[in-house]
Structure 1
């Protein structure tokens, strides 16, 4: 039996020996990471340098893009190192740091979607009162809360699993994962699991309930409003809903893998599904918002083709 004081590193067993192909995989991962960096930074620059985009909706988008860079960096920096490595080991402190990055990223993502849906709710349901309700101070407060609450919640989660007495150090994934570490515990982890459930309820369920409520109100206004109101709702809410659905599917893939036996699924597919919400989401958001929101699309063309 191995106790927690002897666990100085973890082995990520989902990697497979690829020989000389590891250099090709490295280039693919690097290209993907560069695309994420460039696309998100481009839209952030467009929003920051154009004063007519200094509106709540675009400021919330900028916060979302910052989170995409934060979450993808938490995964890709390790992937780049591990792709070229033959041992696929990670030190315990870096493992817990990655767990913190991944889970805080997911929590901030849901919180960002919640405040964006609230913003659309005010803009569509109370257009004449929008500027008085969504003030600059309120925008700053909402953004601060969308980052602060998830970060504090995940700090507690990470501090609970770090001192666990572990009977192994093999994680069957390509990155460190909260549930994978908990499964290695030598004794009952009911307390940790209960707090994890409570934390998930606060950082995920509350934003989801907010999103459902605001969109129910938006739909009610759309059905009873004018054609112009419906067009405004569709043009501004479609990217938000598409991004929310994409991220929710990625999070669902991750939950299913953690809770059920996926040994019958091909290893490459398991790896892809486990990193979907950390790779496809940061690429999907700049594309969907860059294409669907006309103001951003026009400013991007002006910046790139000048």
Structure 2
């Protein structure tokens, strides 16, 4: 611990042989971060530019991809700085901010996926009512709730965590997450209860709602024509894959901290990078860019246009 001007510093102790591989880490993560920004921003740009993509389903996809950019930006710049620094440290206040943004944006993903599930449910099960139900105002409300509700709840949790006395100043990770709870001198019952309340609000309930809506969609599709089943598969399958993927990552993060299971440092680093930092932000634009027919069409058009311009 270092104390300057009453600032408490925490040490990231999750790095593996950083002195030996710092430049390899820096270059690799810089490339990954650039790929995340470019891939997600490209799909968002296509949705913004093309009028035929100004539909609720594509707007929610754009929001999901923007969320991934915000989530990555919350983690990567600090990581890149740490790779080139002699000491991998962060102030307690900055750690709380990174931790809050990480879980607020992570929770927003579930609420956005729930909004997407509702949109697909109305589109497939109530097609005649779709224009009156999924209006611009409805979409705006869904987006506002998806981003503001987790942010407000997480701010409250962070305020409670900030008042806890610390007896340890070393985090066994490379960015601030739930492991910050292990630094407390005494486990706070209030923090734990409020944390579970938030978890149920922005993860459990949205997942239950998503399962319910997709179950209804499957029942409707089973009794419908082949064309309806094909449409449902094209639009719903990518959302389900993203949900399953993200739910597994989120549960992994919660369980490993709550159960206090001790992994080796290399294993913990690999799991953190692969599951919590790298996979989703790169996987989502690839999935939506290839599997969503309309987005794929405009994506091909974009690259073909640039290829022709180049020649």
Please give the TM-score of this superposition, normalised by the length of structure 2.
Answer: 0.93
Residue 177 of structure 1: aligned partner:
177
CA distance in 2, matches of 1:135, 1:108: 21
Note if 1:280 corresponds to 2:307: no
For 1:78-97, what aligned pairs fall within 5 Å after superposition?
Answer: 78-97=78-97
**Equivalent residue for 1:119?**
119
Q: Which moved more, 1:234-243 or 1:180-189?
A: 180-189
5 Å-filtered alignment, 1:1-306, equals 8-178=8-178, 180-263=179-262, 265-275=263-273, 276-306=275-305
Note the alpha carbon deviations across 1:15-45, whole angstroms, 9 max, x for none: 1333342101110000000000000000010
Per-residue CA distance 1:86-144 (angstroms, 9 max, x = gap): 21111112111100110011110110100000000011101121111111111111111
CA shift, 1:187, in A, is: 2.5
Q: Which runs of 4+ in 1 moved over 6 A?
A: none
Please report how far the alpha carbon of residue 262 of structure 1 lies from its aligned counterpart in structure 2 after TM superposition: 3.9
1-structure distance, mates of 2:261, 2:270? 13
Provide the C-alpha distance between the structure 2 equivalents of 1:266 and 1:186, rounded to a whole number of angstroms: 24
What is the alpha-carbon distance in structure 2 between the residues aligned to residue 208 and residue 224 of structure 1?
Answer: 25
The alpha carbon displacement at 1:207 in A equals 0.8
SS at match of 1:167: coil
Alignment root-mean-square deviation, CA: 1.9
- Kept in 2: contact 1:250–1:273 (CA 8 A): no
Aligned partners of 2:16 and 2:266 also within 8 Å? no
**Offset of residue 11 of structure 1:** 0.5
SS at the partner of 1:90?
A: strand
1:146-205 CA-to-partner distances (Å, cap 9, x unmatched) read: 111111111111111011111111111111123x22222122411110111111111111
Instruction: State the alpha-carbon separation in 2 of the partners of residues 114 and 242 from structure 1.
Output: 13
Contact in 2 for aligned 1:56/1:139 (Cα 8 Å):
yes
Q: Is the 8 A contact 2:11 2:88 kept in 1?
A: yes
Structure 1, unaligned stretches of length 5 or more?
A: none
> CA shift at 1:7, angstroms?
6.2
Report the more deviating stretch, 220-229 or 265-274.
Answer: 265-274
Distance 1:304 1:175, change over 3 A: same
Distance 1:261 1:56 in 2: 41
- 1:259-302 CA-partner distances (Å, limit 9, x unpaired): 23443x44333123224233211111100000001110111111
CA distance in 2 between partners of 1:140 and 1:261 (Å) = 40
Report the Cα offset of residue 216 of structure 1. 1.2
* Gapped regions of structure 2 (runs ≥ 5): 306-311
Secondary structure class of the residue paired with 2:58:
helix
Q: How many residues of Structure 1 are paired with residues of Structure 2 in the alignment?
A: 303
